[in-house]
Amino acid sequence: MDGRSEMKGVESALTGSGEKNMVRPREGEDVETGRPVVGGGQPWGLVSPESLEAVCKERNMEGLAKLGELEVPLATSAAEGIDPSTVGERQEGFGENVLHRAPGTTYLQLVAQQLKDPMLMLLIAAATVSTVLGAALPEEREEAAYIDGIAIWFAVLVVVGVGAGNDYHKELQFRKLNAAKDILQTKVVRGGQQLVVESPGLVVGDIVILETGDKIPADGIIVPPYRMLSIDESALTGESDAVHKSAEEPFIISGSQVVEGEGRMMVLAVGARTEWGRLLALTGGETDSTPLQEKLTGVAALVAKVGLSVAVACFIVLFIFLCVEIGAFPTSGAQWMEVLDFFLYAVTIVVVAVPEGLPLAVTISLAYSMRKMMADNNFVRHLAACETMGGATCICTDKTGTLTENRMTVVEAWLGGGHLRRAPTTADMPTDEVFNSLTVGIATNSTAFLVEEGGEVEMVGNRTECALLLMLRGWGVGYQPLREAAEVAAVATFSSDRKRASVLLKDGSSPAYTLHTKGAAEIVLRRCSGALLKGGTFEQLSPPTSSGDDGAQQGAGTRAELEALITTMASCGLRTLAIAKRTVGAEEAEACVKSGSIGALEDGLTLVALLGIKDPVRAGVPDTVDICRDAGIAVKMVTGDNLHTAKHIARECRLLRDDDALCLDGPTFRAMTDEQLLPLLPRLEVLARSQPADKHRLVSLLRQQGEVVAVTGDGTNDAPALKEADVGLAMGICGTDVAKEASDIVILDDNFGSIIKAVQWGRCIFGNIRKFLQFQLTVNLVALTVAFAAAVTGRGIPLTVLQLLWVNLIMDSLAALALATENPTSDLLRQRPHGRRESLLTPYMKYHILVQMLYQLAWMMFFLYGLSAVSSNPAYQPPCRISCGQWVPDTECVVEVATKDEEAGLEGCTAALGLNVAHHNERVEEAALLGRNSFLFNTFIFMQLFNEINSRKLGDQLNIFDGIWRNPVFLSVIAITLAFQVIIIQTPVSSVFHVQPQTWQEWLIAVGIGAGSTIACLLSKLLLRLMLRFGCCSSCFPDKRAHVTRPSADGGTPAGGEETSSMKDAHNAGENGEEEYAKGEDSLRLHVQIA
């Protein structure tokens, strides 16, 4: 029912405008509480925010009546809205419309979460015991053994602090995402002008214009006029049925959505005082794990089990070696301190082995990519969509606004019986009746409006309606006065199913009504029984001979000419629109209004005009479609436009390039069974005159065939398809709030080019995670192998606890930051999409890990077993053959220097030098191990640094440095790691890390060996390329480049690509499906059109 027809009832029931029911507030007091209120110097100071909130919260009609006529105390009106100059004062008095979510996790809370890791807790406990014993035992205190425990504590805090810092950065990114989700573009009336403001700018008293698909931005009540307004409140109440709003049910709550009709709302509560605001204040900002995170968590658990096994084995072996060395079970404090060191070492191995950086890398990559994608006009609403978009194999896209500019202009017309190949002017009007019918029908049968600022005209609302309003503007006709003068009885809004919209107006001078209808030309023409021709004369049209729902109708005479004209316009890529009207008797009109549907009146119309509207193809779309094809992604156009229009635009976009590409219209598509459609889907390029249910069905069928489907949508009815798709893409400009809520990503500029950027970022995320996985698994396997080999062969502990913690920091937090922030490259769009169940570890990655592992282990084993045999530096030599009792690092044995006699006996040596002979062997061995392990540790770090660079490029790409200077994060991580490594080795901190300063020659050798890993990487890739060129191992290393080919007209494969088996299957299925389809053609009367 139209709100105007309930005007008197609304005024009395809602605002208490009747004198008997009017409750006037006393000045400066709230009418319900009697307490003084804020802003008492302003009219709205007579009503408190608390009383308005209470009325909306309880939906209290009695309380609403007590508040009186709200237009007065809130200084607003349904027609004019508020005074724009009062916005600031209203925000001060009633609050801002900002939603406050539950507080996010603080940095200290994230630190506490990191410390809950069982292995870190064990490490901290053991470090504490080590510190206490080191300080308590005299022999350990003399050697400052307690420093090790303190240093481990400090290292753990650094690891925890960096990890918590990364998590906190992620938390901030997601808070920004949630804040952006809360911002809605809202149409309001202020100072008599219709404006678009962001929802945080709404204030109490604002008049909000509501249309189908809008999300309610605040709490309030409906005010006239409103037309068949139904609200979906299921998000808050759980009730699935839409609620029809009327004088008896006037309350509208934030967070709900308009599913039908249109109207206006007076805002009564904003921000935290709204229903949605209260709900958000109670809910946290928890983020669900994405599929890739869950998959990587499984990988991390598997690696952790291996690490735990190695750690236990190392502890047992080291303990056994200690017992053998001392010839008994440990008894002294010093011996138990050594056992404690073994335990610390084992726990540290587990800490290093657990690749907690894997899920962290996903989080960092997602947070980084989301911010970058926003700059590329992709607003990510659900994290998993980032990953999934990288595997998209099919994109079902709308035409209008996505492939085209959505910049509508009337360029052709049929008017008064004549065809104009230009936009009509007032001089072309045959009579005043035609002129009036056009102007009134266009102005009133529309919710769009134009905003003029600084000589620029901004279009708000449906772009087709805006094109018509611009045509009126060119004629010098203002649409707003026509709307204000019209007495609207009822409306039938446009929908994808109906393809038309109507408005029923009460004639002021007579009891009759006039119905104005506009919509898709062939749909409206089918409902027309006559047309206004030259001179405004009415001519009867012959009835249509076909009763199909949509499609062009066949007839004779003028109808056939009009149908041919519609086809001609559509074949030129024009959107065809018909304007029609009908005079309706009072009794019939009022009966339809009372029943709530005026669809029965949309027959027997009189055609007033046909309009051809041009919407040019976006620049760059054809090239982007070619890029999709090269990337292995099929693009299918799904549009509500005429089939001829759709095919023309598809050719312009280069979607239709082959003679056997298939184009279907909605009726044909709906008439076919799933069994008939499935084999035809690989060839289907265009689905025209489609309904939302058709799009949903198409997406479902494509997913059944194993496709990863991304689908675009802008209307309320597109929500099911957006949810059904693997990735739902809503249009940010022309999309409704309902569509955006159902989507995973919002395309802010409605541009198809932005969609392919989302694909590129999705593939980049997946690739970055693979890079990090490749790097981390190499470090893990090498570190675990070295630790185990050294333990079982009695070589002690080559990498100490602190050194391993530093390695853990490099390979987890820092490497995740470096590799997860790599930017996408154009090469990503020349690869085929990764499959749903494709392994994270590709054959190329396994090959790279194996090569790097062998290279690094060769050097590490050499340091453990062969270094002393070839090095002339005494630091790497075994103990002196003569126990002289004293040893000076980096020099020769003092006895040999003093006596030059290697055969001197112990007594002679002791007598000659007076040294402690008994302590000599232990000191020399410790110093030799210190020198060897220092060089081993430094070289190991440099091999990881260079392997981090190697991991930047997956597959057989040779130029691993490509784009490195464009990634400041990666360069910063490498620089920071290198700087800290120099500090650890060359400063007094070295004693804490159990290393000694290195000579410049040793630094050069370490860097050279590290760089050798890059040389090994390049040589291995060249070898692999050579092997693949000669056909060796080709089955183990599939080509990742996309091979997207189409069968030619004669059924062969075009030059330039090899047809894969899956493509052959799809092609054969298409041929078989066409035969089945042809067999049933007569019975189904299906007309498949081949582009």
- Secondary structure class of 388 (helix, strand, coil): helix
**Tokens, residue 988:** 């007094």
Largest Cα separation within the chain, whole Å, is: 136
Taking the C-alpha atoms of residue 93 and residue 90, their distance in angstroms, rounded to an integer, is 5
In 3D space, the residue among 867, 876, 981 whose CA is nearest the CA of residue 928 turns out to be: 876
Taking the C-alpha atoms of residue 821 and residue 1060, their distance in angstroms, rounded to an integer, is 34
Q: Following DSSP, what letter does each residue of 439-504 receive, concatenated? A: HHHHHHS---EEEEETTEEEEES-HHHHHHHHHHHHTT--HHHHHHH--EEEEE---TTT-EEEEE
DSSP state of 247: S
Q: What are phi and psi of 1040, to 5 degrees?
A: -85, -10
Taking the C-alpha atoms of residue 614 and residue 408, their distance in angstroms, rounded to an integer, is 6
- Secondary structure class of 685 (helix, strand, coil): strand
Q: Is-catalytic flag, 398?
A: yes
Partnered with residue 286 across adjacent β-strands are: none
**Tokens, residue 18:** 């009747």
Residue 239, class by beta-carbon neighbours within 10 Å (0-12 exposed, 13-18 middle, 19+ buried)? exposed
Q: Which residue has the tokens 């066949």?
A: 554
Q: What are phi and psi of 916, to 5 degrees?
A: -85, 95
- Secondary structure class of 655 (helix, strand, coil): coil
DSSP state of 681: G
Where on the phi/psi map is residue 860: left (φ > 0), alpha (ψ -120 to 50), or beta? alpha
CA distances from 610 to 421, 438, 543, 576 (A): 12, 11, 18, 7
Where on the phi/psi map is residue 512: left (φ > 0), alpha (ψ -120 to 50), or beta? beta
Tell me the residue type at 644.
H
Q: What are phi and psi of 686, to 5 degrees?
A: -135, 130
Beta strand pairing call for 634-638 and 394-397 = parallel
Beta strand pairing call for 207-210 and 257-269 = antiparallel
Catalytic option among 398, 550, 714, 750: 398
Q: Which long-range contacts (CB under 8 A, 24 or more apart) does 706-710 make?
A: 706/836, 707/393, 707/394, 707/634, 708/388, 708/391, 708/392, 708/393, 708/394, 708/833, 708/836, 709/392, 709/393, 709/394, 709/395, 709/396, 710/389, 710/392, 710/394, 710/395, 710/396, 710/755, 710/759
Where on the phi/psi map is residue 56: left (φ > 0), alpha (ψ -120 to 50), or beta? alpha
Tell me the residue type at 75.
A
Residues classed as catalytic: 398
